[in-house]
A and B are shown apart, each in its own frame.
Chain A
């Protein structure tokens, strides 16, 4: 497919690897923030091609993985006990809540629908005026415009039976939290290309300056990932720190202003609890007061969820880059995609899922 296959070209991959090998002298830890990039690195065997001096640390960029258990429990409660049509991206389905997953809730009779887009959920609400329809709005900045749009559409249509359960998280505050964690040693970042497609580059300048570290906005194909890594280590070897954009074919400096405007109209930033990591200041998107009738958290605020129990999943250590998935004692035995202890094993962007899928098979 155009704009995909060219960026998987073996000759270019070899060229980049040669140049990475020529350039690197120090030991560098580079974090790829986005789980999509983690999957690219593992799936294409890039981790095994890189010189030992470069250690890729897999970041927290898996929105499903960081969604608090209480929200999953709430979604389950809504569809099982309150006759709600609960719509979600497929990624959420197998993530364990306190007592069960949405998949099990569906098997138990809950009306759970897996959708490609939140705009489909608005259609479902239109066609089912006697039922409440809730969209489980999980995601980073890339997904926020579509979710904001669904709220605007529902508002224009004057729907009273549509709301979203927002579990939106933002990348820059998470990068800030990672840099502030003394146990994590990250020398440079590959920033998430598609997040920047929406938001542009400006949010990353202060991070680069404050932490004196290179940040390279990077795409998802093997050539993109290797070029991003090469740009980061080229800066590190020269003692430089700059914001660079490897993914110029898709990401412009200013991002998509129309999308950002709508996101800011519908949502506001508040502190958000990240599963396995804890609270990160101003890292979550919540519906503004004027859109509260579309906020499932407000609409169904009296619904009780079970008390969260301690889990054996080490997702926090995985997402902060303290351990790699195979270093977790449960990986591949107690925790598998069929019987996950936590979200990173079942999300399409989870680091554990990437290692299980592409490394356990080989």
Chain B
């Protein structure tokens, strides 16, 4: 139940009240209505994390890229190491 999933903001409607800021999010093409009242900074096109109908956080693309870059570099370094035993396969 605590699993939240990333989706892309497709549209945002003007705020009607402080507990309701409706928008639409696409999860791999499937559209769902989402409440953005906890994430007023979200914009159309952003990737956001959604849990039980509310947007909880913006996905930080820079952080995601940095993690992936770091891990890829770690993999490249491993390949340069001739002593490396190939474990875990």
A residues neighboring B (CB under 8 Å): 1-4, 6-7, 11-12, 14-21, 34-36, 49, 51, 61, 63-64, 89, 91, 116-120, 138-140, 142-143, 145-146, 149, 152-153, 156, 192, 194-195, 197-198, 220, 223, 227, 246, 248-252, 256, 258-259, 262, 347-349
Q: List 7 A-B contacts (CB under 8 A).
A: A15-B72, A19-B78, A119-B53, A143-B1, A146-B52, A156-B17, A349-B3
Q: Is the CB of A256 within 8 A of B68?
A: no
Query: For B75, what are the chain A residues with a Cβ–Cβ distance below 8 Å?
Result: 11-12, 14-15
In this complex, the member of B27, B63, B85 whose beta carbon has the largest number of chain A beta carbons within 10 angstroms is: B63
Q: How far is the CB of A283 from chain B (nearest CB, A)?
A: 15
How many B residues touch A, CB cutoff 8 Å?
45
Nearest A residue to B77 by beta-carbon distance?
A15
Query: A262 CA to B56 CA in the complex, in Å?
Result: 13
User: B39, B59, B78: which contacts A15 (Cβ < 8 A)?
Assistant: B78
B43 at the interface (CB under 8 A from A): no
Shortest CB-to-CB span from B29 to chain A, Å, is 9
Closest to B6 in A: A3
Chain A binding surface SS class: helix
Are the C-beta atoms of B20 and A117 separated by less than 8 Å? no
Q: Beyond A139-B2, A149-B38, A262-B38: 20 further Cβ-contacts under 8 Å?
A: A12-B71, A12-B75, A15-B78, A119-B35, A140-B1, A140-B2, A142-B2, A142-B56, A143-B1, A143-B51, A146-B35, A149-B19, A149-B54, A249-B64, A250-B49, A250-B59, A252-B60, A256-B56, A258-B40, A348-B3
Known A63-B2, A197-B49, A258-B37; judge A145-B56 contact (CB<8 A): yes
CB <8 Å contact, A17 and B27:
no
B88 within 8 A of A: yes
Q: Which residues of B contact A146 (CB under 8 A)?
A: 35, 51-54
Tell me the B1-29 residues at the A interface (CB within 8 Å): 1-6, 8, 17-20, 27-28
In the bound complex, how far is the Cα of B81 from the Cα of A21, in angstroms? 15
Q: Which residues of B contact A220 (CB under 8 A)?
A: 3
Contacts of B38 in A (CB 8 A): 145, 149, 256, 258-259, 262
Task: Evaluate contact between B1 and A139: CB separation under 8 angstroms.
Answer: yes
Q: Would you list the 10 A-B pairs with minimal beta carbon distance, nearest first?
A: A117-B53, A17-B88, A15-B75, A249-B64, A21-B87, A248-B63, A249-B63, A259-B38, A142-B2, A3-B6
CA distance A36 to B5 in the complex (A): 12
CB-defined contacts of B2 to chain A, threshold 8 Å: 34-36, 61, 63, 139-140, 142-143, 192, 194-195, 349
With beta carbons under 8 angstroms apart, the residue of A1, A139, A192 that contacts B6 is: A1
What residue of chain B has the Cβ atom nearest to residue A119's Cβ?
A: B53
Q: List residues of chain A with CB within 8 A of the CB of B35.
A: 119, 146, 149
Residues of A within 8 A of B49 (CB): 194, 197, 250
CA distance A140 to B63 in the complex (A): 25
Residue of A nearest to B83 (CB): A22
A18 with B86: CB separation less than 8 A? yes
The answer to whether A49 touches B51, judged by C-beta atoms less than 8 angstroms apart, is: no
